[in-house]
A and B are shown apart, each in its own frame.
Chain A
């Protein structure tokens, strides 16, 4: 069974600075997707970024980028130029690409605070 671990329950960053959230996962599969979702106080889960395991290039979305290390099973999220609106829970998530099932396995989350 696949598992996702986020070892940082809480993180804080100064506004305009850069922060990196860590995520590791365990799987025996070779084809899968990894995601970072953001959950602000409204509780709406918002997709931040998606990485396909067979792509070596790290995904980027504006101020958000990932460092995907497949061999190490590591998938960290870097937020540059942090903004107050980035304050939220961040979930790392895994989805198999070897089945058609839409089952996503989530990590426990990291609560990010942004200090003005």
Chain B
């Protein structure tokens, strides 16, 4: 069974630009959640989607958004990038309903 797949793995963007990250969950998993990992703030929850609906959202500005498609694939978007958005963005999936979440390898975003 294929794991959680995130694309792209590495990207560099300029301040003010926007970026879209993609996540394909494990087959059969309906829940996708996103986390931001930085040296200063650690791992922080961004949002979670289940069956195309956002069920929960972390404490991030509105520049951070996401969506989930009918095939459970998810995208997150960050608009008007700031230097502080440089981070590893981790996607995780689970069947939902209290199961363990499994992570992808992450997307490294550098904002210059």
Chain A residues with a Cβ under 8 A of chain B: 33, 35, 37, 42-47, 50, 91, 95, 97, 100-109
Is B66's beta carbon under 8 Å from chain A? no
**A104 touching B101, Cβ below 8 Å:** yes
- Indicate if the CB atoms of B42 and A102 lie closer than 8 Å: no
B31 at interface (Cβ–Cβ under 8 A)?
Answer: yes
**Across the interface, do B43 and A103 meet the contact criterion of CB distance under 8 Å?**
no
What are 9 A-B pairs at a CB distance below 8 A?
Answer: A35-B100, A43-B105, A45-B92, A97-B98, A102-B96, A102-B101, A103-B45, A103-B56, A109-B43
Report the separation of the CA atoms of residues A109 and B105 in the bound assembly, to the nearest whole angstrom. 18
Complex interface: chain B residues within 8 A of A102 (CB): 31, 33, 48, 50, 55-56, 92, 94, 96, 101
- A-B interface pairs (CB < 8 A), number: 59
A53 and B52 CA atoms in complex are apart in Å by 30
Partner of A43, one of B55, B88, B94, B98: B88
| Assembly CA distance A39 to B18 (angstroms) | 28
In the complex the two chains form, what is the Cα distance from A38 to B36 in whole Å?
A: 16
Whether the Cβ atoms of A105 and B45 lie closer than 8 Å is: yes
**Are B42 and A47 within 8 A (Cβ)?**
no
Alpha-carbon gap, A37 to B43, bound state (A)? 12
Q: Which of B26-41 contact A (CB under 8 A)?
A: 31, 33, 35
B48: chain A residues within 8 A (beta carbon): 101-103
